[in-house]
Amino acid sequence: MEKRFRIEPCSGIRLEVSKGEKIVIIDVEGGQVVDFFAEMRGNSEEFVSPGVTMDCNESLKLHVGDTIYSNRYRPMFKVLYDDVKEHDLFHPCCRREMYDFFYHNGEGHPNCLDNINMALGASHPLIHPINLFMHSKIHADGSFQVLRPLSKANDKIVLEALEDVTLGIAACSVSESECNSGRCSPVDIVVQD
């Protein structure tokens, strides 16, 4: 059995997922970043950590077969399938202050920090998600740039939940740069038994 959900552009969703279920994240139109965040069910103080994930996998990238870890070094998800193979583990959720800093338009701008917090009924001051489909290029001198995502229409990544989790997922709200190909579009989530 499977359940399908649509995340409209610049919005977020909360989903309860049980251990062993598979989560399929689909870039419906292509070129859209997905801010993927999760808490251990019933414990908002243990949550997905890109930093710990990089530490444990000894890699700046996610690969099929890799594990995504919590801030307490516990396995949360396993990567089962990946069409795109390009995701960002560095950037925090976009937020009002980020829009003010880069684009001078933060007032009233939808953002992933608020969208995920609202979906979860939480108040995390900062969220570091797994930025699915986000294309960040790191240069030899340590500088980096955000490029247009490589994902095409209906490209997907499939994760297996290794614990009971509460997901907070947002379709990224940045239309001012190449981050989402200069526009925001919907995302589909399918949860499979």
Closest to 50 in 3D by CA, of 27, 33, 25, 69: 69
CB atoms within 10 A of CB 87: 24
* Domain that includes residue 129, residue range: 2-192
CB-based contacts of 91: which residues, under 8 Å, 6+ apart? 128, 131, 134, 136, 146
Q: Which two tokens stand for residue 175?
A: 């239309």
Cα within 13 Å of Cα(44), Cβ side: 11
Q: How far is CA 73 from CA 77, 125, 168, in A?
A: 12, 21, 19
pLDDT score of 7: 98
Residue whose C-alpha is closest to residue 127's, from 93, 99, 87: 93
- pLDDT on residue 20: 98
Position 173, amino acid: S
pTM summary value? 0.96
Residue 115 contacts residue 14 (beta carbons within 8 Å) = no
Residue length of the chain:
193
How far is C-alpha 13 from the chain's CA centre?
12
Number of domains the chain is built from: 1
Tokens encoding 15: 């989903």
Q: Which helix (H) or strand (E) holds 73?
A: none
Q: Contact, 105 vs 94, CB < 8 A?
A: no
Q: What is the pLDDT along the chain (193 residues), one digit of tens a residue?
A: 899 999 999 999 999 999 999 999 999 999 999 999 999 999 999 999 999 999 999 999 999 999 999 999 999 999 999 999 999 999 999 999 999 999 999 899 999 999 999 999 999 999 999 999 999 999 999 999 999 999 999 999 999 999 999 999 999 999 999 999 999 999 999 999 9
